A = this chain, B = another copy of it.
Amino acid sequence: MTTTGVSIRRLRDHVGASVELAGWLQAKRSSGKIGFLQVRDGSGVVQAVASKKELPEADWAEVERATQESTVRLTGTVTADPRSPSGVEIQLASFRVEFLTQDFPITPKEHGTAFLMEKRHLWMRSSRQRAALRIRSEVEQGIHDFFHSHDYVRIDSPILTPAACEGTSTLFQTDYFGDSAFLSQSGQLYLEPAISAFGKVYCFGPTFRAEKSKTRRHLMEFWMVEPEVAFLEFEGLCALAEEFVSALVARVLDRCSEELKVLERDIAPLERVVGPFPRITYTEAIERLRAQGNPIEWGDDFGADEETLISEAFDRPVMITRYPAAFKAFYMQPAPEDPRLVLALDMIAPEGYGEIVGGSQRIHDHDLLLERIRAHDLPIEAFQWYLDVRKYGSCPHAGFGMGLERFVAWMGRLEHLRETIPYPRMLYKIYP
């Protein structure tokens, strides 16, 4: 009896059985008498061994006819094979081509990135791309599981928003029945009112930045997770960020070991990502940089180079706290010991992956927030509902944001964010 509906990922549980599979031929080697077929079904890849002697003649002809990325259907016996990454291979009993593919554009030879990006919808089938996107998918489930298991309520913040949080120069704009609307850059402002209803909330969705930049760290459309918690103060925020990042890294190590192997990711640096993470203040970070000869001055923001320099001193993510208010967002709570500082937290990933988490305790005093909105020349009327959070049942609260693509890039040690998202949106690049 032949078992149908088994996925390649689960073939290990069927050693000795006869199975039927449908999928795509990824690669083929043949000696004239024996063929080795790499067959992918989406869940994984398995080697199927075709023997001219043992296959019906018509089936062997199909083995010879099959081309890269042809759709194939086969039956065969699962045998254990410790040398194979999947742990098994299949001895073919039957084989047929269901769809003959001609001239699949992406061959084992090297292709330029521009070409691969034009063919993103086909490039996804290659093993590195599959590994990166599977890690992404697993991290996303990890995000939801983390917050759901900690009793957070998911609050989807809107994408179409009336007011800009910080200027409109990097916003995508659209007509909204005669008004202007902007694509959201953050859900935070919309989460804050929800904490008074639900205590602990989070959002996870796409965010947008119309920045005329073309670097490996820029996407116009990216996904962000943002928790926001009532009565959470700055120490608790740092602990939450540490617990969250540690849990996600552990999940990737636990569930994506095959994908990390495909990406040739050295996992030792990831295994060190357990709390407590080192914490330094902004002021200490400035002192460290200056001691290393960097010309930065107190009051300057860090660029990518400074982030890398700081993070190199540590073997796990480093949390930098208490930044100058001057270059941080208007809603951040002043530090009690020094009003020039705010209770902001940036977490810098190791291995040069830069800022992965940015958060703060928020101002919960109505009049102070109003003063800050005025000082930043923001339109008070548009922020009236946001001020209401401080008018009706105000409480200390805090939250952070983490960009999914940066986190995934770090996990896979990927060079460019474009490999961490199925359909990257970059400067002048919106196809497919």
- Whether a CB of chain B sits under 8 angstroms from the CB of A91 is no
- Whether a CB of chain B sits under 8 angstroms from the CB of A160 is yes
Knowing A154-B141, A161-B430, A231-B22, the reply to whether A195 touches B99 (Cβ < 8 A) is: no
Knowing A124-B197, A177-B428, A205-B205, the reply to whether A151 touches B43 (Cβ < 8 A) is: yes
- Option from B162, B198, B206 in Cβ contact (under 8 Å) with A130: B198
Knowing A124-B197, A385-B431, the reply to whether A422 touches B157 (Cβ < 8 A) is: yes
User: Which chain B residues lie closer than 8 Å to A183 at the CB level?
Assistant: 159, 174
The answer to whether A177 and B212 touch across the interface, beta carbons within 8 angstroms, is yes
Stretch at the interface among A266-274, A309-317, A355-363, A386-394: A386-394
Tally of chain A residues near chain B (CB < 8 A) = 88
- Option from B151, B173, B223, B422 in Cβ contact (under 8 Å) with A9: B151
The answer to whether A173 and B174 touch across the interface, beta carbons within 8 angstroms, is yes
What mask results when residues 132 to 158 of chain A are scored 1 for a CB within 8 Å of chain B, else 0? 011011001100100010010111111
The answer to whether B42 and A423 touch across the interface, beta carbons within 8 angstroms, is no
The answer to whether A158 and B423 touch across the interface, beta carbons within 8 angstroms, is yes
Residues of chain A in range 180-230 having any CB-CB distance to chain B below 8 Å: 181, 183, 190, 193-200, 205-206, 208, 210, 212, 220-221, 223, 230
- Whether a CB of chain B sits under 8 angstroms from the CB of A121 is yes
User: Which chain B residues lie closer than 8 Å to A148 at the CB level?
Assistant: 141
User: Which chain B residues lie closer than 8 Å to A210 at the CB level?
Assistant: 177
Q: How far is the CA of A386 from the CA of B212 in the complex (A)?
A: 28
- Whether a CB of chain B sits under 8 angstroms from the CB of A58 is no
User: Which chain B residues lie closer than 8 Å to A422 at the CB level?
Assistant: 155-158, 190, 194
Knowing A197-B42, A205-B205, A394-B71, the reply to whether A160 touches B172 (Cβ < 8 A) is: yes
Residues of chain A in range 228-259 having any CB-CB distance to chain B below 8 Å: 230-231
User: Which chain B residues lie closer than 8 Å to A7 at the CB level?
Assistant: 151, 199
User: Which chain B residues lie closer than 8 Å to A155 at the CB level?
Assistant: 133, 137, 422
> Which partner residue on chain B sits nearest A191 by CB separation?
B422
Q: How far is the CA of A404 from the CA of B181 in the complex (A)?
A: 23
- Whether a CB of chain B sits under 8 angstroms from the CB of A427 is yes
Contacts A121-B193, A121-B389, A158-B423 aside, 12 further interface pairs with beta carbons under 8 A come to A43-B151, A43-B198, A69-B196, A69-B392, A124-B193, A130-B197, A136-B156, A155-B422, A157-B423, A162-B430, A172-B175, A174-B174
Q: Would you give 17 A-B contacts (Cβ < 8 Å), ordered by A? A: A23-B199, A42-B153, A42-B195, A42-B198, A42-B199, A43-B151, A124-B196, A124-B197, A130-B198, A136-B154, A136-B156, A141-B148, A159-B221, A172-B176, A172-B181, A177-B212, A190-B432
> Interface on A for B, CB 8 Å cutoff?
7, 9, 22-24, 41-43, 69-71, 98-99, 101, 104-105, 121-122, 124-125, 129-130, 133-134, 136-137, 140-141, 144, 148, 151, 153-162, 172-179, 181, 183, 190, 193-200, 205-206, 208, 210, 212, 220-221, 223, 230-231, 385-386, 388-389, 391-395, 421-423, 425, 427-428, 430-432
Ordered nearest first, which 10 A-B pairs have the shortest CB separation? A42-B199, A121-B193, A385-B432, A137-B154, A124-B197, A158-B423, A42-B198, A69-B393, A125-B197, A174-B174
